[in-house]
């Protein structure tokens, strides 16, 4: 079977070819048109160049060597600017998959699922990732106005539809084309000042250029066209992410959702002070512990995973090590293991950048580098905290279609400092399609 590599320009770029959230282009859209071919979604890559500027004058200045320069979360690289990823059925424009808060999803996935060497090596070339904030700033963000350097990327899209392993029949009377839509992250959330203030970087923004989507499409042989075009309906299973957001601000936090998901594989969540979102003074992508108003870390004294209000699958309270010894700086190993398992099952996890260097309670939530404890300087890629629970051992999942999913947390959050919680539910979805459109069955 022969194939072709397609290179597709965005549907909606301005004549300059430069896309910037600040300058009015918050959505990036690529359409893989219907054609006589089979798309291999795994080969989809988003390619381009990234540039960051500290102001928004006619000829903007790049970040340099001052005390406060715009930068991004180093573990995410180019994924900092992907806020939402949507895969649409092109004919009907119906959504096949939609992941919100994509950056925060990816930071947990990349941290747990990739080793430090992987983050430092192949992912530095393809996705501009670097597991050290200083090295990231120096090699990706910092630039020279007279002799600008490129920061090229060619990023894969980590989502269920793309990674399903199924080929998509692009013929007009079959599944047809797909549209890949990326909502860009607001500059104020993608960027933050290295000095923790907005001085001099109030109009900091990023610009994407030379954008393209590349993918591989296998040709359909002339003798197979008739048979393949009769393929007018079908279904495909893939592991999808349902993303939800909430906030907690009390010592007794209760999270309850009617998910309607039949095959829930796992859930994981990461935390961020709500005051850190959409501000240039803080890194809104960091996955830290919750914190109190005085920037000290908050802890969990008891964790209960619930189904229908009953403890499940752990029929006991999870009591982290800080309950017995509040001075311990080591993260509770059971909590850590559950979080890792919820992202990559223990049986297949090969490498991880999770370590006691990036998962401890040695840091605080201040952005003051002089304190020596700032969360911005946590080694091995930055803080990598989260909670999680795996529900499936053999990909069969657990049925949460008729019972509520719940989480009960006993926390030490005693001050008024709302903490944002980003939840990601991994479940097996069935995409059913015909000439009229698509439907997702969970």
Partner 1 sequence: MSEQMNFLKLSTIPLNTEQSLETDLLEPVVFNDGSATTTGFVRFTLQRKGILHSHSKLLLALKPPTTVSNGFFPPSVGIGAVIESARLMCGNQVINEISSWGNFHSVKSMMISNENNVEREQYTTGRGMSHQFIYTAGDDSQSSNVGFENGREYTGTALSQHPFARMNGVVDASGYLNSSESPTYSIDLSDLFPFLKVHQLPLAQINQDISIELTLTQQEENRACVKNGVDAAKAVYTIDRNELKFCADYIFWGNGDDFQKYMEQNRSQTFSFVDHRLTTTSIASTDTSVIRNIGMANRMVNRIVTTFQNDAGTDVSILNKYGNLAMNKDGNSVVGGIEYNIRYNDRFEYSSNVTNPAQLFTLSQQAEGVPSVVREEYSNEGDLLTTNTYEGSIQNADLGGQFFFVSTRLSAGRVGERGIELHLTLDSQADVTTMRTWSEYLRIGVLEDGIFSFYNA
* Closer Cβ to partner 1, 5 or 347, answer by number: 5
Q: Which of 64, 66, 138, 436 contacts partner 1 by CB under 8 A?
A: 138
| Span interacting with partner 1, options 141-149, 332-340, 412-420, 431-439, rule CB under 8 A | 141-149
Question: Is residue 409 involved in binding partner 1 (CB under 8 A)?
Answer: no
Among 12, 64, 93, 149, binds partner 1 (CB under 8 A): 149
When asked if residue 135 is in the footprint of partner 1 (CB under 8 A), the reply is: yes
Does residue number 206 form part of the binding site for partner 1 (CB under 8 A)? no
The half-sphere exposure of 80 on its side-chain side, counting CA atoms within 13 A, is 37
201 near partner 1, rule: CB under 8 A: no
Contact 187, 205 (CB under 8 A): yes
Q: How many residues bind partner 1 (CB under 8 A)?
A: 48
CA 110/CA 105 separation, integer angstroms = 9
> Nearer to partner 1 by C-beta: 101 or 164?
164
Q: Does 145 bind partner 1 (CB under 8 A)?
A: no
36 lies in the site for partner 1, by CB under 8 A = no
Q: How far is the CB of 82 from partner 1 (least distance, A)?
A: 15
Closest CB to partner 1 among 154 and 173? 154
Q: Which is nearer to partner 1, 108 or 132 (CB)?
A: 132
Indicate which single residue of 13, 27, 109, 120 sits in contact with partner 1 (rule: CB under 8 A).
120
> Could you tell me the two tokens for 254?
């209760």
If one asks whether residue 151 binds partner 1 (CB under 8 A), the answer comes out as: yes
The rounded distance, in Å, linking the Cα atoms of 253 and 249 is: 7
Question: What minimum distance in Å lies between the beta carbon of 134 and partner 1?
Answer: 4
Binding mask 214-253 for partner 1 (x = CB under 8 A): x-x-------------------------------------
- Pick one of 352, 379, 392, 418: the residue that binds partner 1 (CB under 8 A): 379
Build a one-symbol-per-residue string for 311-350: x at contacts with partner 1 by CB under 8 A, - elsewhere.
Answer: ----------------------------------------
We find the least distance from the C-beta atom of residue 361 to partner 1, in angstroms, to be 15
Reading phi first (left if > 0) and then psi (alpha if -120 to 50, else beta), residue 61 is in beta
Query: Closest separation between CB of residue 212 and partner 1, Å?
Result: 8
Binders in 37-56 for partner 1, by CB under 8 A: 43, 45, 47-49
> Is residue 418 within the footprint of partner 1 (CB under 8 A)?
no
Give the one residue of 85, 110, 190, 378 binding partner 1; rule: CB under 8 A: 378
List 133, 169, 288, 366, residue binding partner 1 (CB under 8 A): 133
Given candidates 71, 107, 132, 189, which one binds partner 1 under the rule CB under 8 A? 132
SS3 annotation, the chain: CCEEEEEECCCCCCCCCCECCCCCCCEEEEEECCCCEEEEEEEEEEEEEEEEECCCCCCCCCCCCCCCCEECCCCCHHHHHEEEEEEEECCCCCEEEEECCHHHHHHHHHHHHCCHHHHHCHHHHHHCCCCCHHHHHHHHHCCCCCCCCCCEEEEECCCCCCCCCCCEECCCCCCCCEEEEEEECCHHHHCEECCCCCCCCCCCEEEEEEEEEEEEEEECCHHHHHHHHCCCCEEEEEEEEEEEEEEECCCEEEEEECCCEEEEEEEEEEEEEHHHCCCCCCCCCCEECCECCCCCECCEEEEEEEECCEECCCCCCECCHHHHCCCCCECCHHHHHHHHHHHCCCCCCCCCCCCCCCCECCCECCCCHHHCCEHHHCCCCCCECCEEEECCCCCCCEEECCCCEEEEEEECCCCCCCEEEEEEEEEEEEEEEECCEEEEEC
Residue ranges binding partner 1 (CB under 8 A): 2-7, 43, 45, 47-49, 115, 117-118, 120-122, 124-126, 128, 130, 132-135, 138-140, 144, 146-154, 156, 210, 212, 214, 216, 351, 377-379
């Amino acid at each position: 079977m022969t194939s072709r590599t397609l290179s597709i320009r965005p549907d909606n770029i301005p004549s300059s070819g430069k896309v910037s959230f600040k300058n009015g282009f918050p959505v990036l859209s690529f359409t893989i048109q219907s054609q006589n071919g089979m798309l291999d979604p795994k080969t989809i890559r988003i390619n381009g160049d990234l540039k960051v500027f500290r102001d928004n004058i006619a000829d903007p200045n790049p970040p340099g060597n001052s005390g406060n320069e715009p930068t991004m979360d180093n573990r995410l690289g180019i994924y900092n600017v992907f806020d939402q990823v949507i895969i649409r059925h092109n004919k009907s424009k119906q959504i096949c998959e939609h992941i919100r808060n994509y950056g925060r999803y990816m930071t947990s996935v990349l941290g747990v699922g990739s080793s430090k060497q992987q983050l430092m090596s192949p992912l530095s070339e393809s996705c501009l990732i670097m597991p050290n904030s200083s090295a990231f700033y120096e090699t990706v963000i910092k630039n020279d106005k007279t002799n600008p350097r490129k920061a090229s990327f060619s990023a894969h899209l980590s989502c269920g539809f793309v990674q399903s392993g199924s080929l998509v029949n692009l013929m007009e009377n079959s599944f047809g084309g797909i549209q890949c839509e990326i909502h860009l992250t607001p500059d104020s959330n993608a960027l933050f000042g290295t000095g923790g203030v907005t001085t001099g970087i109030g109009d900091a923004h990023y610009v994407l250029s030379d954008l393209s989507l590349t993918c591989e499409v296998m040709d359909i042989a002339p003798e197979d066209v008739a048979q393949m075009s009769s393929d007018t309906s079908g279904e495909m299973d893939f592991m999808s992410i349902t993303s939800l957001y909430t906030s907690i601000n009390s010592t007794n936090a209760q999270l309850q959702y009617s998910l309607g998901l039949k095959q829930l594989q796992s859930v994981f969540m990461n935390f961020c002070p709500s005051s850190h979102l959409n501000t240039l003074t803080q890194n809104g992508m960091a996955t830290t512990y919750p914190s109190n108003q005085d920037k000290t870390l908050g802890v969990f004294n008891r964790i209960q995973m619930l189904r229908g209000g009953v403890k499940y699958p752990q029929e006991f309270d999870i009591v982290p090590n800080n309950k017995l010894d509040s001075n311990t700086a080591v993260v509770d190993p059971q909590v850590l293991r559950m979080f890792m398992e919820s992202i990559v099952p223990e049986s297949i996890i090969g490498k991880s950048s999770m370590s006691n260097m990036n998962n401890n309670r040695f840091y605080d939530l201040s952005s003051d580098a002089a304190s020596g404890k700032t969360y911005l300087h946590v080694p091995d890629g930055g803080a990598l905290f989260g909670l999680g629970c795996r529900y499936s051992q053999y990909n069969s999942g657990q049925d949460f279609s008729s019972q509520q999913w719940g989480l009960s947390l006993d926390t030490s959050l005693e001050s008024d400092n709302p903490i944002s919680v980003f939840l990601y539910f991994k479940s097996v979805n069935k995409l059913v399609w015909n000439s009229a459109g698509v439907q997702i069955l969970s």
